[in-house]
Each structure stands twice: as C-alpha cells, then as structure tokens.
Amino acid sequence: MDSFSFRILVVDDEPSIRQMLDLGLRKAGYLVKTAANGQIALELIPAYDPHLIILDLMMPVMDGNDFCQALPEISQAPMIMLTAKNSATDIVVGLRQGANDYLTKPFHFEELLARIEVQLRNRYPELTGKHSIGAFCLDEAHHSITFNNCQLSLSPTEYKLLSYLLWNPGQILGKSSILSHVWGYDFDGEDNIVEVYIRYLREKLGDKEHKLIQTVRGVGYRLVPLLKN
C-alpha cells in the first residue's frame, strides 16, 4: 500500500500455496513472510510483528491447533484460517481457537483479499488510510474515493484534485493553490486546466447545480461535502 505497508505472515506447509500467496499479496501491496509450520512461524513473529496471519491447520512439526494456543502469548494479530477442513465442526473449532475468519481450500484469491481488508480495517482503523468526509470516503491506501457509498472512477489527476478539495472542506481554494498542489509548482500549461478538471469532477459526481463543488467567482473553488444520503 502507498500510505502504509501491512505485514502478513503466511503459515502453510504446501510450497505452492506459500509461493502463490507470497506473489499475490506482494502484488497487492503487502509485505509478506512465509513459514512451513507453526514452530517456524512462532520464531518469526517477535521480530516480524505481523499485522495479520494466514494459517493452515494441517501441518507437520506444529499444526494450526497448537499454533493457535501459543499465539496469544506473543501476538494479537488477527488470523484467517485457510484450510481444506471444511466441515461445520471444523469451522466452529477454528473460530473458538482464536481465528477471526475461516476460508476453505480451494478458494478465490480475490475473496481472500477482501477478507484480509476487512480484518485489517477492523483491527487497525488508524492505519488503513480511510477518512470519511461528509458523503465521501477517501481511501489513501488504494487511491480511491467513494461518494454516497459508490466508488468513483477517477484518473490520477482527478483523484489528486478531489483529494485536495476534500482535505480542505468548506475552504475557498484559489486557482494558483490548486495548480501548485495538484500539477506542481513547475507546471507551465494553461491555467484553464483547473476549470477543465473541475468540470470532469462535477460530471462524475452528478453535480449539475454545482452544490458540491462551488465556484467562488474571481477567487477559486470550494467543496461542500454534504451529509450522506
């Protein structure tokens, strides 16, 4: 992630699973370490201090059950069990042993990513880079913005402009200030670029009457985030 790199520990005895998760999670922006069994994982945890643990149950040397019993003494990281054991009894036992979530193999990687995000958001709200501003939610980690719970499709420049407006709600921002913050101090293009991108944002927000992004004639623009619907 851009604003914060979460550390994930993958504990699984299958080399193919460890490699797949290592590559996929790194591509998604996470820092990753892997361990082939619970004993190795316990040795890694004090120095690595993971934010989240993905754990298989059936492993040699130290299985997932024994790992769960030992974990609370050294870490409070949330844990997602990722295992082929899929009976209702197995799931109940796993959750009672300390798992925060339970996903059975085979699984869809996108679903695992979503479950990881839920756990991280719940456990570390101060680190996820999400900020609610009226009807908007700014997610700095993923460079995305939602409006009334709908994600906006924004170009990088549109994101920077809307973010700057959101961080200064209700304040009148002059054209020169917007240019320097969004396009940089050395921008030598046409200054009407601000008007162009304000128009793009208004179209994407459905702000036909300019109630959200208001024009202060001769001065600049002001964003009024409004309350959620």
Q: CB within 8 A of 139, min separation 6: which ones?
A: 128, 129, 130, 145, 146
pLDDT digits (tens, 9 = 90+) for 88-137: 666 676 677 777 888 888 888 888 888 898 888 788 866 666 777 888 88
pLDDT digits (tens, 9 = 90+) for 45-74: 999 999 999 988 777 787 777 888 888 889
Alpha helices in the chain (DSSP H): 15-27, 38-48, 64-70, 88-96, 109-123, 156-166, 175-178, 193-205
pLDDT-derived band at 187 (thresholds 50, 70, 90) equals: low
Q: Which of 177, 210, 51, 44 is nearest to 121 (CA)?
A: 51
